[in-house]
Structure 1
């Protein structure tokens, strides 16, 4: 394959699906265009990207439709028909020396054999035990390892994941590490939905514990809600993020059960960052106590959430569970408290610890955020 030349070649970033649900992908695009790479982005819902990204002279966009449905026929249509559109577009725009950068396992599955002829950077957001041939399939497996072994580079967000992936797939080289740090912390302009939600927060004088992120099966908010209630009327728990359809009923019951918990809605990144100026503590409620054939417990144990950097960038100390992905940065930098169990008393103890040490932890958060140089890391991946 022809070597990549920054002046002559482009990087084709392919994200299968709604890019607005993946802040790390937006971070990647921002990083690339700010470092003067010529970028073509293939993804869905790109019209909602920040204006400065859409207006960049370094970026070309190919937008794809998003088909969301619970019906198996629609899933198959999305898997094969839309996947065909992605593959066809990729073949038309790739030139000798270009790099294709896939962002998720789903993207690799959509492009499959089309990737084998190109210099491929394979970014993995998750550690999968089982990755289905199409969404919802419990028996048919997609051979993700095959494409990992053929990729030019593999990129993961955390060091332990890198070595786990190397051993699991018997790779010759250790995957590169690109932390899920936001490239910019600017929240952009407020739309009407953000303004309405902020009006609610500003009327609440209590200390606000805030959770930003997907509200999925591996995020257990229940014990934290009980702890907030135990702490009395000085605290409230605010949540915002995407609620999967499979979790909606359960989440509604959770809200009805806990009057000190408030759900503000989902806000397209970077608009969700507007709320962090009101947060007193950032929540990282990762749980390994769940059943799933798709999500590996190791994925939670070695979590690498972008929200750690979002909280830290705004100087917000964190309260989380006892998983290594949190424990290591929390203890190394003094930016958070890991609860050794999820008893309300233990969580309340963590809140009291943060209360006492809040200013020191706030300064530590800012130092942690500044210690990661995304420009340098990106250059080492592409040129190393």
Structure 2
């Protein structure tokens, strides 16, 4: 890519998309001039984004129950910013399906990259609506090879989309990073236990009930759940009152908490192709700290966790399998931990991105 200038257009916030933050950091390291048009931001990440980017256009447009009005605000405001700054003459980078659809058909007149983090088989209208953008995009990018091939079939594309794995970018990957005083107090009672961590959306599709039952009946394990409070979290707390709940922490600072855990949990039910061919950020966050992982029995985790011997995949609806899986992790802890770190180190994010951007 000769002109090292990219306009990232994103209708929500970077803090909800750790892979997008990793991408912005890569562009900054590689000497790109970054212009970021953003819906809103949470926490202190906006300060870091201002340091990483040439320009940050923060519109403070937040999601609304009236989706038509919300998308109309995004479309009119974002295009006004694009035209005012002549960004339409640069490469537009769309890191989400929603933003692409909200900008509308006008986008088809310009050069853009469609970077998709999901499969959307649970939203057929999205699949239908995105097809024309995928056909016109300079590149379509997915988060793993399975999703790339599925989208090629669905949209009858001439070539398979490129793949950027959701590897997190962090300056520090040593264990037990410093915590704030309140977080230190939260974790203090479980310092001597094996700390299992789940981080992400806390919803029934994650099938965490039997993990909670196991921890509740164990003297050796403790469970940390990090994410926004939900009705499902309350259900899990009824099963296991000792859960340490930590609300949303802006990336990458949430990784300080991850660094204090011993085992990472990943689970997705079988309700969609998007789930079973998952590409979790957590896989990279856990492996960066050499955390062995317990995953459930879906292809996206079997082909990463099991295949690379960095943990165990079991049926999360079978309590005895969860118990056996966690005990196996304890027995083979050093092996799994070492392999997790190898997995993290073996993907060279910068060289992969360089090769992809050279295709533009």
TM-score normalised by the chain length of structure 1? 0.86
- Quote the Cα distance in structure 2 between the aligned partners of 1:353 and 1:66: 48
Indicate the residue corresponding to 1:308 in structure 2.
Answer: 283
Give runs of aligned pairs for residues 37-116 of structure 1, distance below 5 A: 37-46=32-41, 48-49=44-45, 51-56=47-52, 59-69=54-64, 71-72=65-66, 75-94=67-86, 98-116=90-108
Q: CA contact under 8 A between 2:210 and 2:316: conserved in structure 1?
A: no
**What corresponds to 1:382 in structure 2?**
357
Report how far residue 287 of structure 1 moved.
Answer: 1.2
State whether residues 185 and 313 of structure 1, in contact with CA within 8 Å, keep that contact through their aligned partners in structure 2: no
Match of 2:307 in 1: 332
Q: Of residues 17, 20, 24 in structure 1, which corresponds to 2:12?
A: 17
Contact kept? 1:194, 1:267, Cα under 8 Å: no
Q: Which consecutive residues of structure 1, in runs of 5 or more, have no partner in the other structure? A: 134-139, 291-296
What SS class does the counterpart of residue 333 from structure 1 fall into? Answer: coil
Question: Contact between 1:194 and 1:271, CA under 8 Å: does it hold in 2?
Answer: no
Count, aligned residues? 353
Query: Does the CA contact (< 8 Å) of 1:185 and 1:273 recur in 2?
Result: no
Structure 2: distance between partners of 1:359 and 1:156: 32
Q: 1:86 to 1:113 in 2, by over 3 A?
A: same
Instruction: Give 5+ residue unaligned stretches, structure 2.
Output: none
Which residue does 1:136 correspond to in 2?
none
CA distance 1:193–1:80, change in 2 (3 Å): farther
Of the candidates 211, 216, 236, which is equivalent to residue 222 of structure 2?
236
Task: Quote the offset at 1:52 in angstroms.
Answer: 4.6
Tell me what 1:258 maps to. Answer: 240
**What CA deviation, in whole Å up to 9, does each residue of 1:53-94 have, x standing for no partner?**
4223x531111213244x43xx33211123221122223334
**Match of residue 117 from structure 1:** 109
The correspondence of residues 284-363 of structure 1 with structure 2, limited to 5 A, is 284-288=266-270, 290=271, 297-363=272-338
What's 1:371 paired with? Answer: 346
TM-score (norm 2): 0.91
1:176 and 2:162 are equivalent in the alignment = yes
Shift in Å at residue 120 of structure 1? 1.1
Q: 1:309 to 1:169 in 2, by over 3 A?
A: same
